[in-house]
Structure 1
Amino acid sequence: MASTWDPRSLPDLSGRAYLVTGSNKGLGYFASEQLIRAGARVFMTGRNPNRLSAARAAIRRRVPDAAPDAAETLVLDTSNLGSVRSAAASVRGRGGLDGLLLNAGIVHPPASRETTVDGHEVVFATNALGHFALAGELLTPLALRDGRMVWLGSLSTSLTPYDPVDPQLSTGYTAWRAYVQSKVATTALGFEADRRLRAAGVPVRSVVAHPGYSTSGRTPGIAGVNAPTRAKRFRDNLQAAIAQSKEHGAWSLVRALVDPEIEGGEFWGPRTVARGEPRRQTASRITRDEAVAARVWKAAEDATGVRWPFAEAAAAVGR
């Protein structure tokens, strides 16, 4: 399938179930729409129930032949560990899960350091810790269907490859460093998850994908989902040679989630790195450093209190 993959015409995904974080706008919305258009059932999650309802309504308008239950909304705030646990418990009660797209995140961090209700730096918590906890909580449902988890990487990890020695940025906080460190941590966790899943014999693949340079001003306007100003459209269209829409940016994420030929531990992104159809790529060196990954994994365990149930997941499928 790799040589004939067409992101505009996905394979039939009828009978499959996926969860996408941050589904109410941007990459998460378009990934959800593409999955549903191919016949899948999607748990669309986000922090704001009204925005989730607007996104679900947009799906119904744009994919009128989708099954009535194809899009199910679920409130999930990845910056709040209580919200993560609650949402995961709800999903676990629905049976197996074919895929988990760990997409939600803060792209424009606050100018000064802020903390969550759990006491963690908000960017690291939202982009990395919440997804680490969610993936651990849903590991067994994924294993029951030989499922897959996809972590959202970023071009920024190659531009300024900060080592997250202090992932919570207790000192030296800047908005840019907070964002890049969170993405280094997220990508490293994705690769470390694959190593640990293989070692434990758990039939779940962990993949990392990035959307290239995807902007809202290059993205179709959709009521309740994407409504950039004229100024934003003008500025983003000036970058047409290197930028693409969020709709196209979601292609790499969706392929990483559903292409059966993709193996755990791979890294996928747009053909020209910034834009284009998805292809396999090489992640930045720091994200592939196993010592860095082990350190970040321990930091995530300590911060969230979540220990992934590898033995239980393997036992659930008799392996």
Structure 2
Amino acid sequence: MARTEWDPETLPDLTGKTYLVTGATAGLGFFACEQLTAAGAHVLLTGRNPHKLVAAKAAVKRSTPDAAIETLLLDTSNMGSVRAAAATARARGRLDGLLLNAGVVHPPKERETVGGHELVFATNVLGHFALAGELLKPLATARGRMVWVGSMSTSIWKHVPTDPELREGYTPWRAYVQSKAATTALALEADKRLRAHGVPVQSLAAHPGYSTSGRTRGVRGVNEPTRRTRFFDNLQAPITQSKEQGAWALVRALVDPAAESGEMYGPALIARGAPRVATPARRTRRSELGADLWRSCETATHVRWPFDRARRAAS
């Protein structure tokens, strides 16, 4: 399929494919699951709240009654939860794709830690690094793909994340943007390492533009913005889009057969629009940044990606 022919509202047939989506009980993750199941995919919808998992699964079933969807408890800020979820996912069989979407979007005003690590970095970065490593073998067996979710905000960020856990100089904005710069840099670093080890898994990045809940259709138990939220979000209509549309770039990066490892996808108009190939922020493309972050993640999570075993599993 040529890139210019991509229609985000008419995906290719995904019957027989299985995808795991993190942070899927609301927002981008939920709508990505909805789009994937509508195209015939089997989806593992994950989240950290069991009640929200039930509500999200029911909502997907309302839109696609025959959806092949399962739920899985996963808190990416908790390494024990990551390992348990990965073990369950491996036991369930085939895995064609991993959408690393979960994240803290509105960080706390003061620095908080979980398991000894800064909350935003642990949730948005460390958990996904560990999960991708734990699921590398099944992804390699299926010759699959992983997609790391970044943000357009990294393009206006002037600093290099040399202190990824923000032991000094913490602010909510810095915590969020720095974590997204890290996920993008790790996506590019993963691509390099997977290629170097001959592992048939693709690593891509994607960002959703400026997607707001107030411009998104209501979904019971999933997206129920107040009238106030809708009013203020609609004032920004020229530069925003819905969460459904924000999920388009993530889903394209995950399933477009023409997409290539190492690429990034985002909205055509940066903040909104149809999904297309995008350019990662210059600072995230620095090879030394990716290598430094990789070592930091290995140290923090005690996870080493099993490149050699993954390559053998795929042969």
1:1-319 matched pairs, under 5 angstroms: 1=1, 2-66=3-67, 70-116=68-114, 118-318=115-315
What code does the residue aligned with 1:100 have? L
Q: TM-score, normalised by structure 2?
A: 0.99
Shift of 1:159: 1.3
1:116-144 superposed Cα distances (whole Å, 9 cap, x missing partner): 0x210000000000000000000000001
Could you tell me which runs of 5 or more consecutive residues in structure 2 were left unpaired when the two chains were aligned. Answer: none
**4+ residue segments displaced more than 2 Å:** none
Shift of 1:161: 3.5
Take 2:64 and 2:158, find their aligned partners in 1: how far apart are those partners? Answer: 40
What code does the residue aligned with 1:313 have? A
Do the aligned partners of 1:161 and 1:180 also contact (CA within 8 Å) in 2?
no
Taking only aligned residues, the RMSD between alpha carbons, in angstroms, comes to: 0.7
Shift of 1:163: 1.1
- SS of residue paired to 2:8: coil
Shift of 1:153: 0.7
- SS of residue paired to 1:92: helix
Take 1:172 and 1:215, find their aligned partners in 2: how far apart are those partners? Answer: 28
What code does the residue aligned with 1:176 have? W
Could you tell me which runs of 5 or more consecutive residues in structure 1 were left unpaired when the two chains were aligned. Answer: none
Q: TM-score, normalised by structure 1?
A: 0.98
What code does the residue aligned with 1:223 have? R
Take 2:173 and 2:237, find their aligned partners in 1: how far apart are those partners? Answer: 24
Take 1:152 and 1:194, find their aligned partners in 2: how far apart are those partners? Answer: 14
Shift of 1:54: 0.1
1:281-309 superposed Cα distances (whole Å, 9 cap, x missing partner): 11101110000110011000000000000
- SS of residue paired to 1:113: coil
Take 2:251 and 2:234, find their aligned partners in 1: how far apart are those partners? Answer: 25
Take 1:317 and 1:142, find their aligned partners in 2: how far apart are those partners? Answer: 9
1:46-81 superposed Cα distances (whole Å, 9 cap, x missing partner): 000100100000011111243xxx110000000000
Shift of 1:317: 1.4
Worse-matched range after superposition: 1-10 or 125-134: 1-10
Do the aligned partners of 1:161 and 1:184 also contact (CA within 8 Å) in 2?
no
Do the aligned partners of 1:55 and 1:225 also contact (CA within 8 Å) in 2?
yes
Do the aligned partners of 1:162 and 1:177 also contact (CA within 8 Å) in 2?
no
- SS of residue paired to 1:19: strand
Shift of 1:3: 2.1
Q: How many residues align?
A: 314
Take 1:151 and 1:103, find their aligned partners in 2: how far apart are those partners? Answer: 7
- SS of residue paired to 1:203: coil
What code does the residue aligned with 1:224 have? G
Do the aligned partners of 1:162 and 1:180 also contact (CA within 8 Å) in 2?
no
Take 2:159 and 2:303, find their aligned partners in 1: how far apart are those partners? Answer: 25
- SS of residue paired to 1:84: helix
Do the aligned partners of 1:30 and 1:247 also contact (CA within 8 Å) in 2?
yes
Take 2:297 and 2:94, find their aligned partners in 1: how far apart are those partners? Answer: 25
Take 1:71 and 1:296, find their aligned partners in 2: how far apart are those partners? Answer: 34
Take 2:106 and 2:86, find their aligned partners in 1: how far apart are those partners? Answer: 26
1:208-266 superposed Cα distances (whole Å, 9 cap, x missing partner): 00000000000000000000000100000011101000000000000000001100000
Take 1:161 and 1:235, find their aligned partners in 2: how far apart are those partners? Answer: 28
